[in-house]
């Protein structure tokens, strides 16, 4: 039996401020750091040897994994940072307060932007300081791969090919992926064969590891390690 853990980064500063974050590179909030350390404690209790580790290029994902591994007393020797695991790009909504946008556009329209399968928000102008072209960590990403906006479908179309090529072949080993709400939603859609309605209702909690048990590449079981925070969540 092998194990794949998917964990959304701990609460970020913009999560705390209830802002659309997307590809903007923000820090973890104090609560997010505690969530990451708690995740590390829960994973450590499994007494498993993890060999491969993946994050996005975003520091909230990277720092979450660093805190998990420090708590586990594991040296992060095989960490891969991949832009393909980045959060969904929220286009022109980036940086805006979610509650204010609900008042301006209506809750239903914002829900469609946030949760629908193939409805991206309006594109973010390339002159915006929030555009990935203007953020240093993306200088190594091919310009034709950098989005102005994304739907969940667009996110899925970059996350899953990367997963199939780089992570899926290693499922005979134990792996931790520290990523984001929508990149993990994409992975869950693929792994659990969720339809577009189910994926729109899937909530991914911050800092709560989802343990997926596999055997010969097939999923046998899946559950969140923090049971109290997972009781109302859709799992396998």
Tell me the pLDDT tens digit for each residue of 93-148. 999 998 887 777 777 777 777 778 998 999 999 999 999 999 999 999 999 999 99
What domains are there in the chain, each with its CATH number? 2-87+153-230 (3.40.50.1240)
Cβ atoms 62, 176 nearer than 8 A: no
Choose among 1, 2, 3: nearest CA to 210. Answer: 3
d(CA 65, CA 108): 34
Tell me the pLDDT tens digit for each residue of 46-91. 999 999 999 999 999 999 999 999 999 998 678 999 999 999 999 9
Supply the pTM of this predicted model: 0.94
Cβ atoms 7, 176 nearer than 8 A: yes
Residues 6+ apart with CB under 8 A from 163: 187, 190
Would you tell me how many other CB atoms lie within 10 Å of the CB of residue 82? 20
Catalytic residue among 87, 131, 150, 180: 87
DSSP 34: H
**Quick check: is 111 catalytic?**
no
Catalytic residue among 3, 9, 89, 131: 9
* 3-state class (DSSP) for residue 234: coil
Tell me the pLDDT tens digit for each residue of 14-46. 999 999 999 999 999 999 999 999 999 999 999
Outline where the chain has alpha helix (H): 13-16, 30-44, 59-72, 98-105, 107-115, 152-162, 181-192, 196-200, 227-230
Kindly report the three-state secondary structure assignment for every residue of 150-200.
CCHHHHHHHHHHHHHHHHHHHCCCCEEEEECHHHHHHHHHHHHCCCHHHHH
Mean pLDDT value across the chain: 92
For CA atoms 23, 3, 11, 98, the dihedral sign is positive
Choose among 222, 196, 231, 233: nearest CA to 6. Answer: 222
**Quick check: is 180 catalytic?**
no
């Amino acid at each position: 039996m092998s194990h794949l853990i998917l964990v959304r980064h701990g609460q970020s500063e913009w999560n705390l401020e209830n802002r659309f974050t997307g590809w903007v590179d923000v820090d973890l909030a104090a609560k997010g750091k505690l969530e990451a350390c708690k995740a590390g404690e829960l994973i450590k209790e499994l007494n498993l040897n993890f060999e491969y580790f993946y994050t996005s290029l975003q520091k909230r994902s990277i720092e979450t994994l660093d805190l998990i591994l420090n708590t586990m007393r594991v040296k992060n020797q095989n960490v891969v940072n991949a832009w393909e695991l980045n959060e969904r790009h929220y286009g022109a909504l980036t940086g805006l307060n979610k509650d204010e946008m609900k008042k301006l556009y209506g809750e239903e329209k914002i829900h469609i932007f946030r949760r629908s399968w193939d409805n991206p928000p309006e594109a973010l102008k390339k002159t915006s300081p929030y555009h990935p072209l203007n953020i240093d960590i993306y200088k190594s990403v091919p310009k034709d791969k950098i989005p102005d906006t994304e739907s969940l479908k667009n996110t899925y179309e970059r996350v899953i090919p990367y997963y199939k090529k780089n992570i899926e072949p290693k499922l005979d080993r134990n792996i931790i992926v520290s990523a984001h709400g929508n990149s993990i939603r994409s992975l869950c859609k693929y792994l659990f064969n969720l339809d577009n309605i189910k994926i729109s209702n899937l909530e991914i909690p911050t800092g709560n590891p989802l343990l997926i048990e596999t055997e010969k590449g097939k999923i046998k079981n899946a559950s969140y390690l923090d049971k109290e925070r997972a009781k109302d969540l859709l799992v396998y």
